[in-house]
Amino acid sequence: MARLPGVGAKRVQDFLKLGVETIEDLITLWPRRHVDRTQLTPLWQLRVGEGATVRGRVEQAQEHMLGRGRDYLKIRVSDGSGHLDVTFFHARWLKRQLVPGVEVLLSGRVENFRGRLSMTHPECEILEPGQEPRLGLIPVYPLAGDLKQRFVQDLQARVVPRWAPQLSDPLPDAIRQQEDLPARGWAILHQHWPASPNERELSRRRLVFDEFLRMSLAVLWLHRSDPAVPAPVLDVNNALITQFLQTLPFTLTPGQTEAWEEIRADLSLATPMARLLQGDVGSGKTVLAALSMLAAVGSGYQAALMAPTELLAEQHYLLLKRYFHPLGVALVLVSGRSKGGDVGQLASNQPLIAIGTQALVADRRQFGRLGMVVVDEQHRFGVRQRAQLGEKGLFPHMLVMTATPIPRTLALTVYGDLQVSQITGLPPGRQPIHTSHLSMKDRRDAYVKVMEVVRQGRQAYVICPLVEESEEIQGKAASLLAEGMRKVSGWRVGLIHGRMSADEKSEVMELFRQRAIDVLVGTTILEVGVDVPNATVMVIEGADRFGLAQLHQLRGRVGRGDYPSQCYLLADPVTPEAQARIQAMIETQNGLELAERDLQIRGPGEVLGMRQHGVAGFQLANPLKDLALLEKARDAARALLSADPELAHPEHEGLRQWVFDALNAALPGHVLH
Ligand code: ADP
Ligand code: MG
């Protein structure tokens, strides 16, 4: 990387944050999406609610200083045919550049603000004098550190066309022809710079196939050479379990009981359990995690619970502390803030339960006697991580919990050999969550409801709209929203977002739990796991921007107690897909059904604005949408390995390297060549 012109030591560091170390990493740093700049719209033709790209000159620029981190910049742009008002939250670097006279290209959604055409935080490119705008489908890359979009675009425009055709193509021609896939070099090039959405889709198909094939080969290879690693036999009727079930303030639902029977049968065998526990949001998966971990602790082993975020790890810790304190079970929260002593306990052979994020088992060796691992709502945890657990002679049992149903083929590919349990039904007495859609001009109605429930001593969440740029901007948008609400309402408003420190976050959650906060304004950080039964209203601003699974998870934060709950989706959806998502949310509350609807909605037409799905090392693959392709890749992997178990044929050399790369990433220290 450092040899590329324009890439100095600082930028090398910034690229490292994106996982880009080599040129090959760089050219496979995929655009998050493309901005459709195939067409420029004159300002007088803009229509409210539609997306557009415009070219104009800055007439006025005014900075609004609201104090730390909440500044914003307002500019007015004209192209001779009309005017457009534009607001930027993240004005730090823009304010120096967006001065009157400068020519800009703006891409975003047209809104109507007090009778004027406006855009909020559009994609913005400054045109140098004399420079013609780049038109077409423009890639938008993930950024880190001080990297600028334009810089990465220019770099990729130089590097990709030069290097992509030189990369070898590991896929045997026979498979390529059979599946009708383009060459890898072509696919890489057109993933960055497609001439049309069709070209981009064709290129994506090839790259997704590669991701699936690589993963399938690695999983099958791993199992092929898997010696029978024993797992500890756990006493599933131990005293801790009995005691826990007695002190629990409720009895297990039939669905929970059935799943527990399946789990406990596995735990009493000397073969490591690998089980996926699916259960809709609110179905009560945490109790089963607790039981599984008690099976280990009550048998003299250690257990680990991994959550997707530190915030959620902390929430689990607080809950489990209440559950386990009476039982005298040692509980350790491992976070960025843990002290050496806490972590040191893990290495001892003392039975305990450790709670943390995925980093917890990144190094299996820090546990002395790990018998059980529970992974909560974490789809990134896959076969690589699983392989890491298998060192030290004993393989712990593993339970992966999710509210998002995963098709079995995908589960097999991501986790290896996996059994599936399903919690059917919800705990008794659940009130349905009444879901309604309000257009932005009626959003007051939602807040009238918030006012009503706050008066009754209950609480509400408000989710701030999704801004794609970065967590930083997202945090700023959330604080603006919270600030505005504080000013006009008498509510005690709390704020939570990803950029706050772990201490700040847990403090806010604690205040909310203790009802010292009426309304919690937050980002999608509230998406999973947060459990405060007294909160009964969920307001989702800009609901059209969220995916269906995300909306379902967010809605699942309410309806957890005995009171009727409401969910308000505030949006003026423009695309048919966004309308269909909102309609689906109104029509059903069933997670399985929503997952199916999601699959129908996301037809192959969805090209622009596609978000990444970081499932277990997949960059481009969308597990639901690409299921058919996954099955093909899996079949191809099987056929390849049965014909050539060692991938020793010269034509398979590239594939062999893929497998080794994947496994080396999974098992550091066991370098394969
Ligand atoms: P999820 O499956 O979404 O992780 P949780 O484990 O957070 O769900 O459980 C949701 C809520 O339901 C919690 O407040 C929990 O205490 C409660 N709960 C779980 N099981 C039962 C049950 N059998 N009866 C009544 N309430 C239950
Ligand atoms: Mg949960």
| Digit-coded pLDDT (tens) for 82-101 | 999 998 876 666 778 889 99
For 66-70, which contacts have Cβ atoms below 8 Å and span 24 or more sequence positions? 66/480, 66/483, 69/475, 69/476, 69/479, 70/476, 70/479, 70/480, 70/483
Smallest-distance ligand from the CA of 552: 1
Name the residue at shortest CA distance from atom 18 of ligand 1.
284
Smallest-distance ligand from the CA of 427: 1
At 577, phi and psi to the nearest 5?
Answer: -65, -45
Task: Say whether both 577 and 521 belong to one domain.
Answer: yes
Question: What is the rounded CA–CA span in Å between residue 302 and residue 365?
Answer: 13
Question: Is 609 part of a structural domain of the chain?
Answer: no
* CATH code, 85: 2.40.50.140
Question: Can you tell me which atom of ligand 1 is nearest the CA of 252?
Answer: 23
Question: What is the rounded CA–CA span in Å between residue 110 and residue 3?
Answer: 42
Pairing of strands 331-333, 274-279: unpaired
Name the residue at shortest CA distance from atom 22 of ligand 1.
427
Task: Say whether both 200 and 294 belong to one domain.
Answer: no
What pLDDT, on the 0 to 100 scale, is given for residue 392?
55
Task: Identify whether the C-beta of residue 659 lies closer than 8 Å to the C-beta of residue 652.
Answer: no
Kindly write down the DSSP assignment for every residue of 467-527, as one continuous string: -SS-HHHHHHHHHHHHHHHHHHS-S-EEEE-TTS-HHHHHHHHHHHHTTS-SEEEE-GGGS
* CATH code, 495: 3.40.50.300
Show the beta-strand stretches assigned E in 286-390: 302-306, 331-333, 353-356, 370-376
What pLDDT, on the 0 to 100 scale, is given for residue 673?
45
Looking at the structure of the chain, the number of domains it has is 4
Smallest-distance ligand from the CA of 285: 1
Task: Say whether both 400 and 451 belong to one domain.
Answer: no
Question: Can you tell me which atom of ligand 1 is nearest the CA of 253?
Answer: 23
Q: Residues lining ligand 1, judged by CB closer than 6 Å?
A: 250, 252-253, 256, 279, 281-287, 403, 427, 531, 533, 560
Residues with Cβ–ion distance below 5 A, ligand 2: 529
Task: Say whether both 220 and 243 belong to one domain.
Answer: no
Smallest-distance ligand from the CA of 423: 1
Task: Identify whether the C-beta of residue 372 lies closer than 8 Å to the C-beta of residue 299.
Answer: no
Q: What's CA 491's distance to the chain center, in Å?
A: 31
Task: Say whether both 437 and 415 belong to one domain.
Answer: no
What pLDDT, on the 0 to 100 scale, is given for residue 539?
97
Residue type for position 546: F
Pairing of strands 103-109, 51-64: antiparallel
| 285 CA to centre of ligand 1 in angstroms | 7
Task: Identify whether the C-beta of residue 200 lies closer than 8 Å to the C-beta of residue 182.
Answer: no
Task: Say whether both 452 and 571 belong to one domain.
Answer: yes
CB under 8 Å to 115, separation ≥6 — which residues?
none
Question: What is the rounded CA–CA span in Å between residue 161 and residue 545?
Answer: 33
Task: Say whether both 571 and 444 belong to one domain.
Answer: yes
| 561 CA to centre of ligand 2 in angstroms | 15
Task: Identify whether the C-beta of residue 544 lies closer than 8 Å to the C-beta of residue 573.
Answer: yes
Question: What is the rounded CA–CA span in Å between residue 650 and residue 58?
Answer: 60
What pLDDT, on the 0 to 100 scale, is given for residue 656?
92
Question: Is 4 part of a structural domain of the chain?
Answer: no
Residue range 173-209, pLDDT digits in tens: 999 999 999 999 999 999 999 999 899 999 999 999 9
What pLDDT, on the 0 to 100 scale, is given for residue 664?
67
Q: Which domain holds residue 516?
A: 433-588
Question: Can you tell me which atom of ligand 1 is nearest the CA of 283?
Answer: 2
- 26 CB-contact burial (10 Å; exposed 0-12 / middle 13-18 / buried 19+): buried
Task: Identify whether the C-beta of residue 72 lies closer than 8 Å to the C-beta of residue 87.
Answer: yes
| 528 CA to centre of ligand 2 in angstroms | 7
What pLDDT, on the 0 to 100 scale, is given for residue 216?
85
Task: Say whether both 249 and 390 belong to one domain.
Answer: yes
Task: Say whether both 314 and 415 belong to one domain.
Answer: yes
What pLDDT, on the 0 to 100 scale, is given for residue 177?
94
Task: Identify whether the C-beta of residue 346 lies closer than 8 Å to the C-beta of residue 334.
Answer: yes
Residues of the chain with pLDDT under 70: 67-70, 90-93, 223-228, 336-343, 361-365, 378-394, 405-417, 468-470, 529, 599-600, 602-617, 623-624, 664-673
Question: What is the rounded CA–CA span in Å between residue 11 and residue 147?
Answer: 7
b vs e for 89-114, b when ≥16 Cβ sit within 10 Å of the residue's Cβ? bbbeebbeebeeebbbbbbbbbbeee
Residue range 565-575, pLDDT digits in tens: 999 999 998 88
Q: Model-level pTM?
A: 0.65
| 311 CA to centre of ligand 2 in angstroms | 12
Question: Is 146 part of a structural domain of the chain?
Answer: no
Question: Is 605 part of a structural domain of the chain?
Answer: no
> Mutate which of 257, 258, 285, 286 to test ligand 1's pocket (most atoms within 8 Å of Cβ)?
286
| 284 CA to centre of ligand 2 in angstroms | 7
Question: What is the rounded CA–CA span in Å between residue 478 and residue 537?
Answer: 18
> Mutate which of 252, 306, 404, 531 to test ligand 1's pocket (most atoms within 8 Å of Cβ)?
531
Question: Is 180 part of a structural domain of the chain?
Answer: yes
Smallest-distance ligand from the CA of 245: 1
CB under 8 Å to 552, separation ≥6 — which residues?
281, 403, 585, 591, 594
Task: Say whether both 341 and 463 belong to one domain.
Answer: no
Question: Is 460 part of a structural domain of the chain?
Answer: yes
Task: Say whether both 444 and 558 belong to one domain.
Answer: yes
Question: Is 672 part of a structural domain of the chain?
Answer: no
652's tokens: 């398979």
Question: Is 509 part of a structural domain of the chain?
Answer: yes
- Domain final residue pick, 380, 396, 422: 422
CA distances to 271, 287, 296 from 291, in Å: 19, 6, 9
Residue whose token pair is 């990297």: 147
Name the residue at shortest CA distance from atom 16 of ligand 1.
284
